[in-house]
Amino acid sequence: MIAGIVIGVVVVILIIIFVALYNGLVKRRNAVDNSWSQIDVQLKRRHDLIPNLVESVKDYMAYEKETLTRVTEARADAVAAGAKGPAQAAQAENALTDTLRSLFAVMENYPDLKASQNVMSLQEELTATENKISFARQFYNDAVLTYNNKIQTVPSNIIAGLFNFEKRDYFEAPDEAHEVPKVDLS
């Protein structure tokens, strides 16, 4: 009788622990998905803004065709990579960020552009969108970190293994430090 009660209590406790761990994992995973969709919204917004910007600056910047073409191409790549998951999207988006940055740098040389209300407000929108992307990325990466920690550490890793909770990718920030400078010794 007493043994039965003890076993019953233990089973109930185990079930409660199991449910708590499982729910915790699901919550974390949802947080990751949710914060990814936030990045996605901002990336799409950037994709929508770029053609407008290119359109409004191209008359002023006849000599910068090449820069503009690179921005347009990088945008097309980024749109295409959007469906391929965080790792690929991050790469294409970072390339796009770089081309945009060089476009903004070149725009500094055209005082006429500064006088255009339209261009200025587009630039503010793009800057804000860039910031939103990097803040959303920050939030997403924090969520991924917590989630990955959860599924790799005892005890929740047992449940993660049983129910196929997979490790998630970080949205890598552009990082120049990884590029080893080429040294020409010839």
Partner 1 sequence: MNFRQQIARNKRDSWFLMLTIVVALLALGFIIGLAYWGDYYGGLGLLGVFGVVAIIWSIIAYYAGAGMALAVSGAKKVTHDQEPQLYNIVEEMSIASGLPMPDVYVIESDAANAFATGRDPQHSAIAVTRGLMHRLNREEMQGVVGHEMSHIRNYDIRFATLVGILVGLIALIADFFLRSLFFGGGRRSGGSGSGGGNVIFLIIAIVLAILAPLFAYMVQFAISRRREYLADASGVELTRNPKGLASALQKIAADPVELRGANRATAHLFIANPLKKRKDKAKSGLLDTHPPIQERIDRLRKMAFEGPLEDEAVAAAAGAPAMAAGPADVAVDGTPLSGGAPVEPPKQPLPDPREMPRPFDSG
State both tokens at 102: 């060089």
* HSE value, Cβ hemisphere, 13 Å, CA-based, for 184: 1
Q: For residues 88 and 167, give the distance between their C-alpha atoms in angstroms, rounded to a whole number.
A: 16
Stretch that binds partner 1, among 15-23, 51-59, 73-81, 128-136 (CB under 8 A): 128-136
CB of 45 to partner 1, least distance (A): 11
Chain centroid offset of residue 37 CA? 9
Listed ranges 16-24, 57-65, 66-74, 102-110: which one lies at the site for partner 1 (CB under 8 A): 102-110
CA distance 120 to 128: 12
Examine residue 58 and tell whether it contacts partner 1 (CB under 8 A). no
Closer to partner 1 at the Cβ: 179 or 184? 179
The answer to whether residue 87 forms part of the interface with partner 1 (CB under 8 A) is no
- Angle at CA 179, nearest 5°, toward 182 and 172? 165
Q: Which residue's entry shows tokens 């749109």?
A: 79
Contact footprint for partner 1 (CB under 8 A): 35, 38, 42, 97-98, 101, 104-105, 108, 117, 120-121, 123-125, 127-128, 130-132, 134-136, 138-139, 141-142, 145, 170, 173-177
